[in-house]
A and B are shown apart, each in its own frame.
Chain A
Amino acid sequence: MSKKKNKPLVKRRAIREAVLQGLARRRRRDRLLRLAGIGAIVLGLSFLAVMLVSLVSLGQSAFWQTHIRLELRLDPERLDPQGNGSLDSLSAGDYAGVIKQALRARFPEARKRREKRELYRLVSSGAAWALRDQVVADPELLGQWRAFWLLADDEVDQWFKHGEAGGVRLSERQRHWLESLRAEGAIDTFFNWTFFRNGDSREPELAGIRGALAGSFYALLVTLALSLPLGVAAAIYLEELAPRNRWTDFIEVNINNLAAVPSIVFGLLGLAVFLNFLDLPRSASLVGGLVLTLMTLPTIIITGRAALKAVLPSIREAALGIGASRMQTVFHHVLPQALPGMLTGTIIGMAQALGETAPLLMIGMVAFIVDVPQGITDPATVLPVQIYLWADSPERAFMERTAAAILVLLLFLVLMNLVAILLRRRFEKRW
């Protein structure tokens, strides 16, 4: 009997060992799964971090712009050819000539034509325009000797900011001149207002995002003006008034599908319908806004319906109970409760529209446009498209401007999302 009793004891130990061994393996697997999860999250977040850090490190230098200090004599004979100090006369002055003269005076060793050309190239062509603006604003400057900080060429800018690492194409002579200017403190960087004041330009040191910002603003204005009322109306209809029938089912399926249609297809629609069929102006923010409206409508309708759904049924019933019509119930009681949620969805939709690029390429918003658009029918470009255009440019100075424009775009997105979050917090109601 006792022997028979002992046998299972041995077996039990073997089982125990086997289980313990297996347990170790199973626990290892458990740890592995957790590690895989954490690893996946770390991977995703570190990509985000690397991307943001590299964009900031690439783009921050674009917010500073190199200038060269030169002693200029604002020769009245050159700058005021008619000699009467009138606006016409001052505008016609040869400001580039004055700058060239000052450069020659500063570096008399440049004698040959070639050398002189290299010398002139240190200063941006935009410096003359800036000088003109200064003189026009203050004609008293005429005839004076003054030190001016002149906008440097983009190659000089890259050389001063990044040294030889900037991959600049400057000749030995130009480097020598710049070294001597630097030694006497005549080169320095200032905050790059040009970047925010100017439209696009072929010269990197003169290129700015103002035109693109204005284009984005007008396009978003059109989008908001159309998509908010239409989206709210559609959400109200589908959530509050629609009978359940084939037609409303069809509308619903369509909205869900539209939310997932590739954005470039909306661009094809815009090209075929708005430009080719309706003959609306090409490259205009109006058409861009229309296309973006069609794209953001599904987002607004879907979030709008969710917001309406969150309104307590008792509110509806109470309103109907005291004799309000369906329409009065919706517009006096339900909609005010749901509006903050709908606005949150609208802001999120606007943020998407702000970053959208592909459909706008289709309707010609990729044109090179220097002027800042003044209205919704002017040719324009938008911020993401400007980024796309600059990313294609070979000059290194455009690379940092691309990154800087991206930083501005991301800043706007962060602000919009912040507003959406605050709005949600502010109006969140607990029943």
Chain B
Amino acid sequence: MSLSMLFLLLVAYALAAYWLGRRVVLGRVDGDARRLHSLPRYHGYRVALLAGLPPLVLLVLWLAFDQAVIGHLVMQSLPESMRTLSEAERSLLLNDIRNLATGNIASGVPDPALTAAVERYRSLSGWSNMALPVLLLLVGLGGLGWGLLRVHPGLRARTSVERVVHVLLLASASIAILTTLGIVLSVLFEALRFFETVPLGDFLFGLEWSPQIAIRVDQVGASGAFGMVPLFAGTLMIAGIALAVAVPVGLFSAIWLAEFAGARARAWIKPLLEILAGIPTVVYGFFAALVVAPLVRGLGESLGLAVSSESALAAGLVMGVMIIPFVSPLSDDVITAVPQSLRDGSLALGATPAETVLRVVVPAALPGIVGGVLLAASRAIGETMIVVMAAGVGARLTANPLDSVTTITVQIVTLLVGDQEFDSPKTLAAFALGLVLFLATLLLNVLALYVVRRYREAYE
């Protein structure tokens, strides 16, 4: 039975349960709703929830874990020699079994043990497909029966429905925590496995990054080097260039919009600048690689400079334009939030508008502006597509913005896109980098939020 069909049936079943619950309770009081504690529809809701919610939860859990459990069971049934394989080989094997079971082409010639496993996989999947609807039906009917048996006119159906809804709302709000937990755990676990093979000190302070692992053990460079200093330096350089573009441009435009622009100009220009934030980053990446990088290169060469075709400068410039709207509106907000009395006082003392802005308004708004810049910095560090398309992949420790450098996000993408084995240090290194990236941006965000919040309270 197809998934969408199952889902539709479930919805129809819940609707029927609603109707039934309403009818049963009205039948108890001969249609006189005044004798009920709750409105008839709350009785309907209650029965529908009892009948529909448990099967829905079961369905979602089943779909989430079904494949994983079957895979595990099949692996258990394999002969000893196959169970002791490394995890990467086991996942490959499982893939083969799946492909064979669904009639696709596998990577190797099936031997008897494998054929048995395929048979087992087929029978287990068949079981799973049969058991799911039956279980859903049983759970659903159980809920329905329970709900209908306990219906009586004095039942506080509304209170119990509202209690369930309350819990559902709380659960939805808690998904944010689950997500954070998921991020931390998934990145942390894989990173810890990485640190089993590469010492933490080597990773944090190593000056060389060359993650390619040789196919054979005796090849040159078979070990690979995982020092993240060059990546961090490259990330900081590109983010620095981006901020050098975005901060002045964003700040000056925010000052002009907040202090000098008329209402009409403001109404037009502000949304136009915000378009920059709405353009997908892959578009910036294409533009950087195709237009800006050759331009920077040509310009540098006409000045007699050696410019790499994937210079940090080109990626940084375009990223700077992208984050202008992250600096500008926040600064704009805090500048307009500065009380008018400060401005009036300064102007009354004979200061020009520029002096008022630079010596009174901006210092008063400074914490908010700093918060905005910190948020923009965290964007720049975590930005992926622009650097993937316009910056290099070779890790190099350099201070020259015309050289090609690589960043943390570029390395994560290059390590994880394409063929991968799941327990090689190469793949796990991506998660370690992800952990670093997460922690670095988290720190910046927390700092920014703290600065902004503290500042905002000063005027309230």
List residues of A whose CB falls within 8 A of some B CB.
Answer: 26-27, 29-30, 32-34, 36-41, 43-45, 47-48, 51, 54-55, 58, 229-231, 233-234, 236-238, 241-242, 248, 250-251, 254-258, 260-266, 268-269, 271-273, 276-280, 294, 297-298, 301, 325-327, 351-352, 354-358, 361-362, 366, 377, 384-385, 387-388, 391, 399, 402-403, 406, 409-410, 413, 417
Is B413's CB under 8 angstroms from A361's CB? yes
Given A48-B272, A262-B383, A294-B175, list of 18 further CB < 8 A pairs?
Answer: A26-B355, A229-B172, A230-B175, A237-B173, A257-B180, A260-B445, A261-B183, A261-B438, A268-B416, A269-B186, A355-B280, A356-B280, A361-B417, A384-B282, A388-B285, A391-B290, A399-B290, A406-B286
Is A41's CB under 8 angstroms from B269's CB? yes
Interchain nearest-CB distance for A124 vs B (Å) = 25
Is A264's CB under 8 angstroms from B384's CB? yes
Is A264's CB under 8 angstroms from B354's CB? no
Chain B interfacial residues counted at CB < 8 A: 89
Identify which of B24-32, B49-57, B75-83, B160-168 touches chain A.
B160-168
Is A257's CB under 8 angstroms from B252's CB? no
- Return the 3 tightest CB-CB contacts between A and B, nearest first: A37-B256, A262-B382, A355-B280
- State the CA gap A44–B182 with chains docked (Å): 38
Is A301's CB under 8 angstroms from B286's CB? no
Is A233's CB under 8 angstroms from B168's CB? yes
- A236 contacts which chain B residues (CB < 8 A)? 169
Is A276's CB under 8 angstroms from B422's CB? yes
Is B187's CB under 8 angstroms from A39's CB? no
Closest chain B residue to A421, Cβ basis: B271
- B175 contacts which chain A residues (CB < 8 A)? 230, 234, 294, 297
Identify which of B63-71, B115-123, B126-134, B307-315 touches chain A.
B63-71
Take A233-B168, A388-B285 as given contacts and tell me if A39 and B252 are in contact as well, using a CB distance cutoff of 8 Å. Answer: yes
Q: Which of B177, B183, B283 contacts A410 (CB 8 A)?
A: B283
Is B67's CB under 8 angstroms from A273's CB? no
- State the CA gap A428–B173 with chains docked (Å): 27
Per-residue CB contact flags for chain B residues 150-179 toward chain A (1 = under 8 Å, else 0) read: 000000001000100110111011111101
Take A40-B256, A233-B168, A233-B172 as given contacts and tell me if A260 and B352 are in contact as well, using a CB distance cutoff of 8 Å. Answer: no
Is B281's CB under 8 angstroms from A257's CB? no
Q: Which of B68, B383, B431 contacts A277 (CB 8 A)?
A: B68
What's the dominant secondary structure at chain B's contact region? helix
Among B256, B283, B352, B358, find the residue whose CB has the most chain A CB atoms closer than 10 A.
B283
B434 CB within 8 Å of chain A: yes
Take A26-B354, A48-B275, A233-B172 as given contacts and tell me if A269 and B286 are in contact as well, using a CB distance cutoff of 8 Å. Answer: no
- State the CA gap A410–B282 with chains docked (Å): 11
Per-residue CB contact flags for chain B residues 241-280 toward chain A (1 = under 8 Å, else 0) read: 0000000111111011100100000000100110110111
B389 CB within 8 Å of chain A: yes
Is B249's CB under 8 angstroms from A40's CB? yes
Q: Which of A32, A40, A278, A409 contacts B68 (CB 8 A)?
A: A278
Take A27-B352, A261-B441, A279-B67 as given contacts and tell me if A269 and B173 are in contact as well, using a CB distance cutoff of 8 Å. Answer: no
- State the CA gap A260–B372 with chains docked (Å): 12
Q: Which of B179, B257, B283, B381 contacts A262 (CB 8 A)?
A: B381
- State the CA gap A366–B284 with chains docked (Å): 19
Interchain nearest-CB distance for A205 vs B (Å) = 21
